[in-house]
Amino acid sequence: MPEIVCGIAKVWKSSLRTIIAHLNVVTSVVFSPDGTKIVSGSFDKTVRLWDAETGAALNVLEGHTDDVRSVAFSLDGTKIVSGSGDQTVRIWDAGRGAALHVLQGHTDDVQSVAFSPDGTKIVSGSYDTTVRIWDAQTGAASNVLKGHTDSVQSVAFTPDGTKIVSGSDDKTVRMWDAGTGAASNVLKGHTHGVQSVAFSPDGTKVVSGSDDKTVRIWGAQTGAASNVLEGHTGLVLSVAFSPDGTKVVSGSSDYTVRIWNVEIGAPLNVLEGHTLPVRSVAFSPDGTKVVSGSSDKTVRIWGAQTGAALSVLAGHTFWVQSVAFSPDGTKIVSGSGDQTVRIWDAGRGAALHVLQGHTDYVQSVAFSPDGTKIVSGSDDKTVRIWDYATTLVDGYKSYLLLDKDGHINGLDSKPYLWIPHENRSNGAVFALHISGSKFSKICMGLASGLVTIIKF
């Protein structure tokens, strides 16, 4: 039987925000740089802006006449750029929601857009095989970058904004001078489509993963292929650099995760355990761990140095589509085809919470820059914002596990305790302490100032 005692604790809040965002599939969601807003794009032809704290709709940005494929904030958060199947790029005022410029020139769907780090330029990639650079202030086209011979799927600026990288179905990665638009390098070598590209943290290298089963590392200055990382026996679906840029992790349809030494191109570890394709991989912020999500319904945590399997996070009942570490590296969030978002303790591998509400595949998940919120995008046409806070109660670290129906769920995701509606609506806030695999204390604070601690 639980024991109820009195005490004093810090009171904190957390809540679930559900945004009935769009009338069709949500294709892209992004936090503003300061984490206070979210922008989303959809097949319903709109761009929508939301308050990340309250979930309130701030603006509906209308003007596109076809699917919105990609959205991004400028670094200062004052502008939004969107790319669409209507062959246009649009710039919007993030404060007023007003359309600033319609950038015309592409002759097919615009698949990818990005701001330069200083906010003065925009780059776009299109099915028309071109990459275009635009002046973010005036909307004028400054350069048309020609060279690709098939659809451009992905574009990005280097961290210093001096170069652009593009990946295409023509099997090449191309480097361009962001100032002049000149082709600085064509990174040839892949023999099938390029699925994923990423810059190293210092911007000196590029990594690419391809359907040809290889990972390739390129010099961002020279475009020379410094290493071809061979070993995967299936498509390379995801690649990422470690925070210090010395390692690369890759996930493949061959069911493995591989960690590579960037300088010599040598395989460091082959991480085996998944039983279906690995769809998403990421390093922890400190570079000591790797997380992977797979079609086998599991999330796995690995030691980046040893390759040892640290934890198997089981609970999802369908493919894991997306995984990410929190900014402090203590938590992992995963999104799945089972319509749930799950939060895990990155140290213990324990399930912390199951966020339910989506009614179709969850395609993308991310933490806000300060780690207090999670955003998820789903095929159910909604974007959902989830508040996730931590605090101290009597010196113990506590995790919020109160769902939208008032249940505090156990680590097995089943309801553990139900909080009456009158307490919840009266401004009650909750925290708990986990000891081993069980709850040892739950703390409930009321708006009246009363705090109740329940010991188990």
Question: Which residues pair with residue 299 across a beta bridge?
Answer: 293, 313
Residue 204: per-residue pLDDT: 87
Rounded-to-integer distance, Cα 389 and Cα 402, Å: 11
Give pTM, 2 decimals.
0.59
436: helix, strand or coil: coil
Question: Which residues pair with residue 144 across a beta bridge?
Answer: 132
Question: Residue 12 carries which side chain, given as an amino acid letter?
Answer: W
Q: Is the dihedral of CA 368, 372, 376, 381 positive or negative?
A: negative
Question: Which residues pair with residue 215 across a beta bridge?
Answer: 209, 229
Residue 405: per-residue pLDDT: 64
Provide CATH code, domain 17-386: 2.130.10.10
Rounded-to-integer distance, Cα 252 and Cα 275, Å: 11
Tokens (6 digits) for 392: 């101290």
Tokens (6 digits) for 421: 């509606």
Query: What average pLDDT does this structure show over 112-116?
Result: 92
453: helix, strand or coil: strand
Rounded-to-integer distance, Cα 30 and Cα 6, Å: 42
Confidence check: pLDDT of 1 > 90: no
Tokens (6 digits) for 359: 């009614």
Rounded-to-integer distance, Cα 336 and Cα 323, Å: 9
Residue 452: per-residue pLDDT: 52
Which of left, alpha, beta for 189 (phi over 0: left; psi -120 to 50: alpha)?
Answer: left
Rounded-to-integer distance, Cα 115 and Cα 125, Å: 12
Confidence check: pLDDT of 168 > 80: yes
| CA nearest neighbour of 428 among 401, 413, 453, 449 | 449
Residue-wise pLDDT for 61-82, tens only, equals 999 999 999 899 998 999 999 9
Q: Is the distance from CB of 262 to CB of 301 less than 8 angstroms? A: no
Q: Which residue has the higher pLDDT, 453 or 350?
A: 350
Rounded-to-integer distance, Cα 199 and Cα 158, Å: 7
List the domain boundaries for the chain.
Answer: 17-386
Residue-wise pLDDT for 178-227, tens only, equals 988 888 788 888 898 777 778 888 888 888 888 999 999 988 777 788 88
Confidence check: pLDDT of 348 > 70: yes
Confidence check: pLDDT of 18 > 60: no
Rounded-to-integer distance, Cα 8 and Cα 446, Å: 11
Torsion of CA 59, 111, 247, 225, to 10 degrees: -150
Tokens (6 digits) for 89: 């790029």
Q: Is the distance from CB of 68 to CB of 81 less than 8 angstroms? A: no
Residue 426: per-residue pLDDT: 43
Q: Is the distance from CB of 314 to CB of 334 less than 8 angstroms? A: no
Confidence check: pLDDT of 243 > 80: yes
Residue 403: per-residue pLDDT: 54
CB atoms within 10 A of CB 235: 18
Q: Which of 37-51, 83-97, 187-201, 396-410 has the lowest mean pLDDT?
A: 396-410
Strand order in the sheet with 152-157: 152-157, 163-168, 173-177, 183-187
Residue 455: per-residue pLDDT: 59
Question: Percentage of residues in the chain with pLDDT exceeding 70?
Answer: 79
Rounded-to-integer distance, Cα 148 and Cα 193, Å: 12
Residue-wise pLDDT for 259-275, tens only, equals 999 988 889 999 999 99
46: helix, strand or coil: coil
Q: Which residue has the higher pLDDT, 233 or 435?
A: 233
Total residue count of the chain as it appears in this document: 456
